[in-house]
């Protein structure tokens, strides 16, 4: 077994073609000792390769840490900046997405433009053209997770010879190409829905919206338990632990996300698949991997094999990440290879060699996909949009709950751009943005909608636009949002449910909504009124309850001033179904979703 093999529990098959014996377990020391010896001719791997393998592991750890760190910082944490400093995030937290060429390609096809920072994705493409799918093996944080789980997680069917078998190339690996064609065709017709399957989007969405909030939930519960012990020193330690985590990993308050059970369970399920097929996601489903695989054929760096030296020990296959046929006797699949170099590192003979400008005698460089299936899947992708559009949601029966973040482009363009990466939902300081479930149809699944009852849009905040990598939410300024010298950006309009409103129908003072209305002048104004109230008990003589007069202020919305931020809905004390609520109508991005005639006159500023 190779000295640098990460997992000493994987038995190394010594005899050619003989399955390793997993039943007989030598002691740890013996195994470690044996790991020093290599089977077959026992030629050690080139120093260069050993170094590269370790460099890869370091880079994998480093990029995963960087990814997590950026994700933890996809949140506004206050600073000592002066009162007038614009609130922006100091880090390019969406960096991994900007470097994602699948995202760039999708949005290029749907909008015919490459939005701002997405130009960085050309860099990743260039890297692929030089060294193949290095991104998958070395950089991708989601891939690293699968690498890790594939290593610590195999079932008893995933060890030894079974593992060798599972690491061979299978036809199922074509699926990711078909998915890619499907999503690219969907993009051509105007939907960036492929973001649902983009690995970086998945990592941000699942870790940001499910894993982190769940971890915080657990930590808070533990903290409460510690609080019950009544032991002062424990409580203080636990509180400062919480403070630390709130300042680094999550935030002061618990975040909740609409229907993220699905996001979370899919994430767990896909990680769990590593138990049966290592890196199932990367090999079978990942459209970004497929995209890079398409370009890997141009890579200048690759593998050469000397089949004659192969003893069929299959050591290369034990650690292969991409299932790309590194072993002797078959052709290497360049488009599948993650360039992890475990194979050359493990090979005890002199069969596998990575080098620049290799001969391609024993390499297949292009995906092994059937042309008809490819065309069929692309056609299916192109059919997606019409099929989802004739389902009513976008054109005919726009859902009032689809309140988009401020600065969003009009709905159809929005769907051309939004890759459902959840950056905006993660960054929103008020927990206002949520992944839509079916509110905007299947086509809008996991795009951001604002749910004011959970959190309202903070008046002076423009962070969601800052982090949006595709321009679905534009990078607006405070002046644009608040309407300094222009019309303020509105995302919807508030409505009163008079039958539930305390001053309107229960003769009880309230107007918390008016207090929180942030516009100036306020979009909520109050009408002073003296209203009758029936006392809740029979009168002294046993007759009908007496009446009294109460002074209340009854709130009204001025639809021309309301920006739809939802602060009123958030704070209304009528707990279950608030007496004031926001719907999307009146949003400034739409020319059709309007109430007031005056707002359809676009010549007026």
Q: Which residues bind other proteins (CB under 8 A)?
A: 76-84, 87, 220, 223-224, 227, 239, 242-243, 246, 252-254, 429-430, 458-461, 502, 508-512, 514-522, 526, 553, 571-573, 575
User: Does 323 interact with ligand SF4 (rule: CB under 6 A)?
Assistant: no
Q: Is 550 exposed, middle or buried (0-12, 13-18, 19+ CB in 10 A)?
A: middle
Give the residue among 92, 88, 103 at the shortest CA–CA distance from 70: 92
Q: Decide whether 194 or 358 has the Cβ nearer to ligand SF4.
A: 194
* Integer Cα distance of 4 and 340 in angstroms: 13
> Of the candidates 330, 286, 381, which has an alpha carbon nearest to the alpha carbon of residue 169?
330
CB-wise, 224 or 390, nearer to other proteins?
224
Among 104, 127, 303, 419, binds ligand SF4 (CB under 6 A): 419
Contacted by 281, from other proteins, ligand SF4, none: CB < 5 to 8 Å by type = none
3-state secondary structure of 529: strand
> Could you give the dihedral angle defined by the CA atoms of residues 484, 487, 488 and 489, in that order, rounded to the nearest 10 degrees?
-140
Applying CB under 6 A, does 160 fall inside the site for ligand SF4? no
CB of 95 to other proteins, least distance (A): 22
Q: What does 78 bind: other proteins, ligand SF4, none (CB cut-off 5 to 8 Å by kind)?
A: other proteins
- Among ligand SF4, other proteins, none, what binds residue 501 when CB lies within 5 to 8 Å by partner kind? ligand SF4
The minimum distance between CB 458 and other proteins, in angstroms, equals 5
Q: Classify strands 433-435 and 448-450 as parallel, antiparallel or unpaired.
A: antiparallel
Closest to other proteins by CB, 164 vs 523, is: 523
392 makes contact, choosing from ligand SF4, other proteins, none, with CB < 5 to 8 Å by partner type, with none
Asked whether the beta carbons of 536 and 546 are under 8 A apart, the reply is no
Q: Is 463 in the site for ligand SF4 (CB under 6 A)?
A: yes
Residue with smaller CB distance to other proteins, 416 or 569: 569
Is 428 a binding residue for ligand SF4 by CB under 6 A? The answer is yes
CB-hemisphere CA count at 13 Å for 167? Answer: 29
> β-pairing, 493-496 with 580-583?
antiparallel
Nearest distance in Å: CB 214, other proteins: 15
Contact pattern from residue 8 through residue 47 relative to ligand SF4, giving x for each residue in contact according to CB under 6 A and a dash for the rest: ----------------------------------------
Token pair, residue 93, equals: 């937290």
3-state secondary structure (DSSP) of residue 69: helix
Q: Which of ligand SF4, other proteins, none interacts with 109 (beta carbon under 5 to 8 A by kind)?
A: none
CB nearer to other proteins: give 316 or 579: 579
Bond into 521 cis (ω within 30): yes
Q: Which is nearer to other proteins, 12 or 251 (CB)?
A: 251
Which of 416, 423, 443, 587 contacts ligand SF4 by CB under 6 A?
A: 423
Positive or negative, the Cα torsion across 87, 91, 95, 96? negative
CA angle, corner 112, sides to 107 and 116, nearest 5?
65
Residue 380: CB atoms within 10 Å: 15
The torsion region of residue 228 among left (phi > 0), alpha (psi -120 to 50) and beta comes to alpha
Of 175 and 451, which CB lies nearer to ligand SF4 in the complex structure? 451
Q: 259's torsion region: left (phi>0), alpha (psi -120 to 50) or beta?
A: left
Q: Which does 76 bind (CB under 5 to 8 A by kind): other proteins, ligand SF4, none?
A: other proteins
Q: Report yes or no: 518 and 459 within 8 Å, Cβ to Cβ.
A: yes
Residue 526: which of ligand SF4, other proteins, none does it interact with, CB under 5 to 8 A by kind? other proteins
Contact between 568 and 497 (Cβ < 8 Å): no
Torsion sign (Cα): 27, 4, 125, 168: negative
Cβ nearer to other proteins, comparing 417 with 522: 522
Closest CA to 179 of 293, 72, 94: 293
- Report how far Cα 371 is from the mean position of its chain's Cα atoms: 32
Tell me: does residue 502 bind ligand SF4 (CB under 6 A).
Answer: yes
CB of 3 to other proteins, least distance (A): 47
Is 53 near ligand SF4 (CB under 6 A)? no
Q: Which of 422, 430, 466 is nearest to 446 (CA)?
A: 422
- Of 272 and 438, which has the nearer Cβ to ligand SF4? 438
Residue 436 sits in the site that holds ligand SF4 (CB under 6 A): no
Q: H or E element: which one contains 465?
A: helix 463-467
Q: Is residue 190 at the binding interface for ligand SF4, with CB under 6 A as the rule?
A: no
Closer Cβ to other proteins, 109 or 494, answer by number = 494
Contact footprint for ligand SF4 (CB under 6 A): 405-406, 418-424, 427-430, 432-433, 447-448, 450, 457-458, 461-464, 467-470, 472-473, 496, 501-503, 510-513, 555, 572, 574, 579-580
């Amino acid at each position: 077994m190779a000295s640098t093999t990460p997992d000493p529990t994987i038995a190394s098959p010594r005899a050619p073609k003989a399955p390793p014996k997993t039943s007989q377990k030598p002691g740890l020391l013996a195994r470690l000792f044996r790991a020093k010896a290599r089977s077959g001719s026992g030629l050690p791997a080139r120093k260069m390769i050993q170094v590269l393998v370790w460099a890869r592991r370091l880079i994998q750890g480093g990029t995963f840490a960087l990814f997590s760190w950026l994700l933890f910082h996809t949140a506004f944490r206050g600073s000592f900046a002066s009162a007038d400093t614009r609130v922006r995030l100091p880090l390019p937290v969406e960096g991994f997405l900007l470097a994602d060429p699948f995202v760039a390609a999708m949005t290029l096809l749907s909008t015919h433009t490459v939005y701002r920072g997405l130009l960085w994705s050309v860099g990743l493409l260039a890297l692929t053209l030089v060294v193949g799918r290095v991104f998958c093996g070395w950089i991708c944080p989601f891939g690293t997770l699968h690498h890790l789980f594939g290593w610590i997680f195999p079932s008893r069917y995933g060890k030894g010879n079974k593992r060798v078998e599972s690491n061979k190339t299978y036809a199922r690996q074509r699926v990711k190409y078909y998915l890619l064609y499907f999503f690219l065709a969907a993009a051509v017709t105007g939907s960036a829905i492929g973001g649902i399957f983009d690995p970086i989007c998945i990592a941000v969405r699942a870790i940001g919206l499910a894993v982190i909030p769940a971890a915080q939930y657990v930590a808070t519960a533990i903290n409460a338990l510690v609080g019950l012990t009544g032991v002062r020193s424990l409580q203080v330690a636990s509180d400062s632990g919480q403070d630390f985590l709130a300042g680094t990993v999550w935030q002061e308050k618990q975040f909740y996300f609409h229907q993220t059970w699905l996001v979370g369970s899919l994430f767990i399920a896909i990680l769990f698949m590593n138990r049966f097929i290592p890196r199932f996601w990367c090999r079978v489903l990942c459209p970004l991997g497929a995209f890079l695989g398409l370009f890997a054929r141009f890579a200048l760096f690759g593998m050469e094999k000397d089949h004659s030296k192969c003893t069929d020990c299959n050591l290369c296959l034990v650690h292969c990440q991409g299932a790309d046929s590194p072993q002797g006797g078959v052709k290497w699949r360049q488009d599948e290879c993650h360039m992890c170099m475990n194979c050359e590192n493990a090979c005890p003979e002199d069969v596998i060699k990575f080098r620049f400008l290799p001969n391609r005698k024993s390499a297949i460089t292009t995906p092994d996909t059937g042309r008809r299936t490819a065309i069929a899947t692309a056609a299916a992708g192109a059919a997606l949009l019409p099929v989802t559009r004739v389902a009513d949601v976008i054109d005919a029966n726009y859902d009032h709950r689809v309140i988009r973040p401020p600065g969003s482009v009009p709905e159809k363009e929005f769907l051309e751009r939004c890759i459902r990466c959840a950056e905006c939902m993660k960054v929103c300081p008020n927990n206002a943005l949520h992944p839509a479930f079916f509110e905007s149809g299947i086509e809008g699944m996991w795009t951001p909608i604002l749910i004011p009852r959970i959190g309202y849009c903070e008046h002076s905040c423009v962070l969601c636009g800052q982090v949006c990598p595709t321009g679905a939410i534009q990078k607006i300024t405070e002046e644009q949002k608040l309407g300094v010298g222009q019309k303020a950006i509105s995302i919807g309009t508030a409505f009163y449910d008079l039958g539930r409103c305390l001053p309107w129908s229960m003769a009880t003072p309230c107007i918390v909504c008016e207090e929180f209305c942030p516009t100036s002048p306020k979009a909520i104004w109050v009408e002073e009124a003296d209203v009758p109230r029936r006392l809740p008990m029979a009168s002294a003589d046993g007759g009908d309850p007496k009446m009294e007069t109460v002074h209340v202020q009854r709130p009204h919305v001025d639809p021309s001033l309301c920006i739809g931020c939802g602060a009123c809905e958030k704070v209304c004390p009528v707990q279950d179904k608030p007496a004031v609520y926001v719907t999307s109508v009146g949003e400034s991005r739409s020319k059709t979703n309007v109430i007031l005639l005056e707002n359809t006159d676009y010549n007026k500023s």
